[in-house]
Structure 1
Amino acid sequence: MKIEEIGYLGIDATHMEEWRDFAANYVGFEVRQLDHGQLGLRMDDFAWRMLVRPAERNGVGFLGMKIDSPEALETVRSELTAASFEVHEGSAEERAERSVQQLLWVADPDGNRVEFFVGRSADNASFRPGRPIGGFRTGPLGFGHVVIGTPLLEEMEHFYMKLLGFGLSDYIDKDIKVRFMHANARHHSLALVKTPAKFLHHVMVEYNFMDDVGRLYDKALTIPGMIQTSLGRHDNGNFQASCRLNE
């Protein structure tokens, strides 16, 4: 099984208006109002890379894994069925909402919905960021990366690495246990953190230009409590400089 990228992410959220302001005016997504009170966060040629939907809890709504062909999608179906996962067909409404030709989904060991899609159509309109930025680095790398806290690290690691084929990029086995996993040239598209309960730890998106990182950092400094962790690097290597905002 070969996952090409995490093409999109669904986020369940309890404070939709705060999401709208944060996404457009701080990060710079193009924010689209969609049906059922949902927000589509656009980063490039697709209608959205993240779908934020109203919910009674905050967390992962779904992960969208790109598969390169209908034949490969059938391999996904057969291999997951053989591994005793119940494979579901996406509905016509779900396919239309995601602009894909085919869609399957399963629940991972933590109960997160993991979707597998083929043939996602681009949007004809030009990308219009919420504030002036030089765009996001996406393309064949996918939307960015997502980090999930899980009490079932071993089971989740087996699912994503052994069944879905993600490669291990790096790991931490100190006070915390983390597995960084890649599907393409991005250092990691997914990371799993051992935690007492499951939750969405954080989401990363990448600007095309470092100047946009600096401008956002300057903007965040003016808002009390916005900076959660200042500029620095992970303690297991020098692969990535990062800054955490209080989402």
Structure 2
Amino acid sequence: MTADYRYSRLGYVALNVTDLERTLAFYTDLVGLDATEIADGQAALRCGPDHHNVLLNRAPEPGLKRIGFELESEDDLERAFRHLERCGYTPAWLDAEECAALHQGPGLRFRHPGTGLPLEYFAGMERMAEPFGARLAKIARLGHVVVSTPDLPAMRDSLMRDLGFVLSDEVDGMIAFLRCFPNPFHHSLGIARADEDRLHHVNFMVTDIDDVGRALNRLKKNKVEIVYGPGRHPPSGSIFLYFLDPDGMTVEFSFGMEEFAETGARAPRLMPPVPESLDFWGGLPSLDFARVGRYESAG
């Protein structure tokens, strides 16, 4: 059933962390995000004009709490709710008090039925008066979130069929790259094959290739584990660097990404399942790459 609503962008990712203070320092002092609000076991951080692009939540186990996608309008949100119900999902509206606490417009939450992936749709977010500081890196945006699953084809097909995602490229049997139509970026959501459903990585896009190099040296100096890269992804054309946060969840800095027009976009490519399909330079990730980040359980 074709989705009859339109995405604006990937809005934010909410992560569960075991040591809020330590992880907050990591994302502000090493990644370069700005903190906007810290209260009640939660920290809101941003890499642009929005109130938040990352929410850190104190929890016993690290992992993914939810991924929030902004839709183009409240009408799109209403259509999304009805569409999800028709597809057999169980969306639930957020109450006004929670929306206000999040500095967001109306929203709804649901889980992908096959994997339990926690998702949110919302319409509108408060903009901050002060511009993003870009103290350490010229971060342009929260670029994408990639998740892992044992059944990549089933998850890919359901996200395209039920939730309106469009396939940009796929490395056969390894990873699929999806864009939230009509957002132009090569992927806002990725699906990688793994032994369980969990977070794979969170990406931040930078506007200067030197920010990738500076991050590499800054992270090494502070003894942060680099787990993949630097390298260059053939599917998107991005220069990449992957590293671990204090809980072992994987974070990526990247520079550059292919963009698609709303109409007349090229067909998706199927690439062979070899390391060179993931890195032009032939690099391989370490064993700690994309290993931590179970989904928060329902209820």
TM-score strictly above 0.5: yes
Which letter does structure 2 place at the counterpart of 1:113? P
Q: Residues of 2 paired with 1:206 and 1:59: CA distance? A: 21
Opposite residue 206 of structure 1, the aligned amino acid is M
1:38 aligned onto 2:37: no
Confirm or deny: 8 A CA contact 2:24 2:56 kept in the other structure.
Answer: no
Report the TM-score, using the length of structure 1 for normalisation.
Answer: 0.88
Matches within 5 A, 1:137-216: 137-138=140-141, 143-173=142-172, 177-183=174-180, 184-216=183-215
Deviation at 1:92, TM superposition (A): 2.0
Q: How does 1:52-91 map to 2 (within 5 A)?
A: 52-91=56-95
Distance, in Å, in 1 between the alignment partners of 2:236 and 2:83 is 36
Deviations 1:81-126 (A, max 9, x none): 0111111011223211332221111111322221111122212233
Q: Which residue of 1 aligns with 2:237?
A: 239
1:6 aligned to which of 5, 10, 19: 10
Q: Structure 1 residues 33 and 71, CA, compared in 2 at 3 Å: closer, same or farther? A: closer
Task: Read off the aligned partner of 2:140 and give its amino acid letter.
Answer: R
Query: What TM-score do the two structures reach when normalised by structure 2?
Result: 0.74
CA-based RMSD: 1.9
Deviations 1:197-238 (A, max 9, x none): 12111111012222222211111222445211221123x546
Report if the CA contact (8 A) 1:3-1:164 is conserved. Answer: no
Q: List, as ranges, runs of 4+ consecutive aligned residues in structure 1 with deviation greater than 3 Å.
A: none
Tell whether the 8 Å contact from 2:51 to 2:125 is kept in structure 1 after alignment: no
Q: Is the 8 A contact 1:2 1:164 kept in 2?
A: no
Distance in structure 2 (CA, Å) of the matches to 1:103 and 1:159: 22
In structure 2, what is the Cα distance between the partners aligned to 1:188 and 1:219?
27
Structure 1 counterpart of 2:228, one-letter code: T
Deviation per residue, 1:40-76 (Å, 9 max, x gap): 1111111111101011222211111111122211210
Unaligned runs of 5+ in 1: none
CA distance in 2, matches of 1:237, 1:87: 33
Report the count of equivalent residues.
238
The yes-or-no answer on 1:113 pairing with 2:112 is no
Deviates more, 1:73-82 or 1:145-154: 145-154
Distance 2:192 2:62 in 1: 17
In 1, Cα distance between equivalents of 2:37 and 2:128: 15
- Give the corresponding residue for 1:27: 31
Give the whole-Å Cα distance in 1 for the aligned partners of 2:82 and 2:236: 39
Gaps of 5+ in 2: 246-299
For residue 123 of structure 1, what is the aligned residue in structure 2? 128
In the TM superposition, residue 31 of structure 1 has moved relative to its aligned partner by 2.1
Percent identical across equivalent pairs?
A: 28
Higher helix share: 1
